Amino acid sequence: MIWQIDLSVLSIVVICAFATIMVKDLLSAAIIFGAYSFLMCLLWTEMGAVDVAFTEASVGAGVSTILFIAAAYQTTRIVKARRRGRLASKIIGLGAAVIMGLVLLAAEANFPGFADPNSPASLHVSPYYITQTLADTAVPNMVTSVLADYRGFDTMFETAVIFTAGLAVIAILRRVKRSDRCDLPEPFTISTGYEDTIIRFVSRQLVPFMQLFALYVVAHGHHSPGGGFQGGVILGASFILLAITYDIKMVQQRMSEKWNILLGNIGVLIYAGIGFLCLLLGANFLDYSVLSNILPATDKIMARSHGMLGIEIGVAIAVMAIVISIYLNLSSHGKLDEGL
Amino acid sequence: MEYLISHYNYWIYILLMMVGLYAMLAKNNLIKKVIGMSIFQTAIIVFYVSTGAKRDASIPIIAHGHGHDSAHAVIDIMHYANPLPHVLMLTAIVVSVGTLGVALAICLGIHRRYKTLEEDEIQEQLQ
Amino acid sequence: MNGVVILLVVSGLIFFLATTVGLLRFPDFYSRMHAAGKGDTLSSLLMLGGLALYEFHEINIATILVGAKILLIVVFIFMASPTATHAITDAGFESGVKPWQKETTEEKSP
pLDDT single digits (tens) C51-100: 999 988 888 888 888 899 999 999 999 999 999 999 888 888 887 888 88
| pLDDT tens digit sequence for A255-292 | 888 999 999 999 999 999 999 999 998 888 888 888 88
pTM, 2 dp? 0.91
Asked if the C-beta of C94 comes within 8 angstroms of chain A's C-beta atoms, the answer is yes
Whether there are 3 or more C-beta pairs closer than 8 Å between A and C is yes
Neighbour-count burial of B121, counting CB atoms closer than 10 A to its CB (0-12 exposed, 13-18 middle, 19+ buried): middle
Min Cα distance B126 → chain A (Å) is 15
Closest Cβ–Cβ partner in C80, C90, C94 for A202:
C80
Residue A186 has pLDDT above 70, yes or no: no
Integer Cα distance of A250 and A207 in angstroms: 14
Say whether the A–B interface has 3 or more Cβ pairs within 8 Å: yes
- ipTM for the whole complex: 0.91
Nearest Cα of chain A lies from the Cα of B53 at a distance, in angstroms, of: 5
Q: What is the Cα–Cα distance from A192 to A210, expressed in whole angstroms?
A: 28
Mean pLDDT of A107-125: 81
Q: Report the candidate in B37, B27, B15 with the shortest Cα–Cα distance to residue B100.
A: B37
Amino acid at A186: E
- C83–A198 CB contact, under 8 Å: yes
Across the interface, whether the CB atoms of C79 and A206 are under 8 A apart is answered yes
Does the pLDDT at position B39 exceed 60? Answer: yes
Q: For residue A125, which residues of chain B lie inside 8 Å, CB to CB? A: 84
A198 and chain C in contact, CB less than 8 A: yes
State mean pLDDT over A65-90.
Answer: 84
- Looking at chain C, the whole-number percentage of residues with pLDDT higher than 90 is 51
- Which chain A residue shows the shortest CA-CA distance from B10? A108
User: Of the CATH numbers 1.10.3720.10, 3.40.50.1400, 1.10.287.3510, 1.10.569.10, which one belongs to the domain with range B2-55+81-126?
Assistant: 1.10.287.3510
Domain ranges for chain C: 9-95
Interface list for B 51-110 with A (CB within 8 A): 51-63, 65-66, 70-71, 75, 77-78, 80-91, 93-102, 104-109
CA distance B59 to chain A (A): 5
Which position has the higher pLDDT, A249 or A187?
A249
Collect all residues of chain C within an 8 Å Cβ-Cβ radius of residue A196.
86-87, 90
The CATH fold assigned to A1-79 is Four Helix Bundle (Hemerythrin (Met), subunit A) (1.20.120)
Q: Is A297 exposed, middle or buried (0-12, 13-18, 19+ CB in 10 A)?
A: exposed
Contact B86, A44 (CB under 8 A): no
Q: Which residue has the higher pLDDT, B18 or A112?
A: B18
Q: Do B6 and A116 count as a contact with CB atoms less than 8 A apart? A: yes
Q: At residue A92, what are phi and psi to the nearest 5 degrees?
A: -65, -45
Backbone angles phi, psi at B29, to 5 degrees: -80, 140
Q: At what angle do helices B2-26 and A3-22 cross, to 10 degrees?
A: 10
pLDDT band at B24 (very low <50, low <70, confident <90, very high): very high
Please state the domain extents for chain A: 1-79, 82-110, 141-340
**Which residue among B25, B107, B108 sits closest to A92, beta carbon to beta carbon?**
B25
Find chain A residues with C-beta within 8 A of C80's C-beta: 202, 206
Domain boundaries, chain B: 2-55+81-126
CB contact under 8 A, B55 and A161: no
Q: How confident is the model at residue A74 (pLDDT cuts 50, 70, 90)?
A: confident
Return the minimum-mean-pLDDT range out of A208-212, B67-71, C5-9, C43-47.
Answer: B67-71
